[in-house]
Amino acid sequence: AEAEARYRDLVENLPVGLFVSTAVGRILTANPAFARILGYPDPAALMRVNARELWVNPEDRERWMERLRTQGLVEEFVAPLRRADGSAVWLEGHASAIRDRRGELVAWQGSAVDVTARVRAEEERERARRQLEAVLELAPDGIALFGPDGEIRLANPVARALLEAHAETDPAGRVEALAGRPLRDLLAAPADGRPVHEIFTPPPNPRVLQVATRAVGDPARPEAWVVTLADVTEERERLEKIALQERLAALGQLAAGIAHDFNNILSAIVGYAEVLRSRRDIPADVKDRLEQMLVQSFRAADLVRQVLDFGRRTKSERQAMDLLSFVKELGKLFESTFPEGLRVRVEFEPGTYWVEADPAQIQQIVTNLAVNARDAMPAGGEIRIHLEPVGVDPGMPPPVPGMGPGGWVCLTVADTGSGIAPEHLDRVFEPFFTTKPPGQGTGLGLAQVYGLVKEHGGFVDLESRVGEGTTVRVYLPAAERPHARRSTVIGKAPEGAGQTVLVAEDDANVREILRAMLERLNYRVLEARDGTEALAAWEENADRVAAVVTDLAMPGLDGRALARKVKARRPEVPVVAVTGYPLPMGVTRPAETEFDEWLPKPVHVRELASTLDRLLRKKG
């Protein structure tokens, strides 16, 4: 009796729920702990409830009974049961079967503990795991977890792809190296102090990989390694293109300044040569030499114009033009003029190809690219000229950094030539850089293409592989609709009628040659060494000055300020800018400036005479 009392006391006070239940759901006995777990005031109240009603999910009870029928034992069975107040409580149950003489399951006895807190914690861990997996799945970089021996325990899709492409593993699948670099070296800090290791994979598909690692646990004896991997090839190329564009912009400013000074020198050479050539007392052989001097000077002027195209752009005449028709005609020209071993193929995708552009400059762009392609294939090959409409949607990465959303026309010129060495690719748009032998190239072809395309609001991209060829893509903004072209025909250049022209020029040689040209054209000339002196001469002689010819950049009062002063007093007096600089950015015709006309240096007698005659007739 004493032992029975101790046993009953143990059952009554045990914190673990104990119970006996029949197969039909009758609870034969239960201790206070089991009643307390299920929210009943005492075991008697619990035993009045059919056990079937306690199961939240009836299928859980079926699985419980099936296991007892077949195995006679249930262990660590976790399922939710319904408490007296209707809430759910998670129990972990253990039970053994009670059978009749025939071996049929009639009841079971068992124990149960409340594991709700543990289940909730496991659910929270599972939720956190799913969230972490979602983050890893969407991460743009590769993230992996390595064991100490190189075992891949976890990897997101990016990491799996990079490891599949570049990892070297042992027969058990453990990583030993990445792109030829031993894993042990990558797990150590980079020797150069940088936060990441950089790996350059070899051709034919060279890539730039960045790898960062961090120990999990004690760094001396890590239990695992977190490894991040990124293929930064495209990002590196994008940054290199941006750096190249910035470098070219700086070179362009330098080139424009040099071109301006060189134009002043050419102005004096061309002007004196033209004045001397017009004299009747010059021997024929001297005249021939003057002609050669002028020819070479004009070639130098064209070279300067190409530099300006690269730098700050020259004055252009824009019009709506169908690039497809234009390129087709150029293709026919190239086909007939290039060597017989070269085939020129013009292709295009369905679409319209209207652009707002200067036809002469577009011809220069296509011609320069085609000539470069021709020169890259001395033994023959194929030049492919391709047109394709390209749309850039907001938010999407553009083909070339800096391109904005909207419609673009892509002009591609590709060859099957020798290609460009990788070490030269970042310099191909620099002025005067050439890979051609001495005497076979000025190094301005691609520089001029770059400048002209930028002038049209476009972008240039170049790809090349040695032995395979070069592809240049030019992106120009697509035009909304055609516009009529403005005529730019210059008429015959007559002489003046003794009118007075005020000349403002700070370069003495250029000023002298302008005076000589104007006097030869039967004009009276008032000279000024700068804008301030010109303004004083204007204020003193405003009533008799018929026109003003002024340099743009002068110390003190510049050409623009002088033009505004002249126009303020006598708006009808034409003012002509003579400059080695191009038109300002965004200006395409003189009417958009303080000047009635712009003349580029070096100035030709015929062009100066025609301009003054036209403006004075218009005034008169």
CATH of the domain at 553: 3.40.50.2300
Report the Cα–Cα distance between both ends of the chain, in Å, rounded: 141
Q: Are residues 328 and 458 in the same domain?
A: yes
Higher-scoring residue by pLDDT: 178, 3: 178
Q: Are residues 385 and 530 in the same domain?
A: no
Q: What is the model's pLDDT at position 307?
A: 59
Higher-scoring residue by pLDDT: 201, 476: 476
Q: Are residues 152 and 285 in the same domain?
A: no
* Residue 505 located in a structural domain: yes
Q: Mark which of 445, 477, 509 sits at the end of a domain.
A: 477
Indicate whether 358 pLDDT > 60.
yes
Q: Mark which of 196, 231, 266 sits at the end of a domain.
A: 231
Lowest mean pLDDT among 35-44, 251-260, 268-277: 251-260
* Residue 73 located in a structural domain: yes
Mean pLDDT rounded to a whole number for the chain: 85
Q: Are residues 202 and 302 in the same domain?
A: no
Q: What is the model's pLDDT at position 341?
A: 85
* Residue 487 located in a structural domain: no
Which residue, 486, 480, 462, 464, is CA-closest to 472? 462
Indicate whether 191 pLDDT > 70.
yes
Q: What is the model's pLDDT at position 312?
A: 46
* Residue 129 located in a structural domain: no
* Residue 211 located in a structural domain: yes
Indicate whether 271 pLDDT > 90.
no
* Residue 130 located in a structural domain: no
Q: Are residues 400 and 328 in the same domain?
A: yes
Q: What is the model's pLDDT at position 252?
A: 64
| pLDDT band for position 251 (cuts 50, 70, 90) | low
Three-class SS of residue 132? helix
pTM score, two decimals? 0.42
Indicate whether 332 pLDDT > 50.
yes
Higher-scoring residue by pLDDT: 486, 215: 215
* Residue 255 located in a structural domain: yes
Average pLDDT over residues 274-303: 76
Return the residue matching tokens 């290199």.
240
Indicate whether 309 pLDDT > 80.
no
Q: What is the model's pLDDT at position 78?
A: 96
Q: What is the model's pLDDT at position 133?
A: 85
Cα 248 to its chain centre, rounded Å, is 16
The 8-class DSSP code of residue 377 comes to -
Q: How many percent of the chain have pLDDT more than 90?
A: 45
CATH number at residue 334: 3.30.565.10
Convert the pLDDT of each residue in 24-63 to its tens digit.
999 999 999 999 999 999 999 999 999 999 999 999 999 9
Q: Please list the residues that pair with 81 across neighbouring strands.
A: 55, 89
Lowest mean pLDDT among 283-297, 370-384, 406-420: 283-297
Three-class SS of residue 153? strand
Distance between CA atoms of residues 10 and 137, nearest Å? 54
Q: Are residues 80 and 202 in the same domain?
A: no
Do 473 and 412 meet the contact criterion of CB atoms below 8 Å apart? Answer: yes
CATH number at residue 178: 3.30.450.20
| Residue-range definition of the domain harbouring residue 252 | 236-310
Distance between CA atoms of residues 522 and 499, nearest Å? 8
Indicate whether 18 pLDDT > 90.
yes
Q: Are residues 394 and 427 in the same domain?
A: yes
Average pLDDT over residues 412-426: 88
| pLDDT band for position 295 (cuts 50, 70, 90) | confident
Q: Are residues 331 and 220 in the same domain?
A: no
Q: Are residues 469 and 587 in the same domain?
A: no
Q: What is the model's pLDDT at position 308?
A: 60
Q: Are residues 458 and 336 in the same domain?
A: yes
* Residue 482 located in a structural domain: no
What is the tally of structural domains in the chain?
A: 5
Average pLDDT over residues 412-437: 80
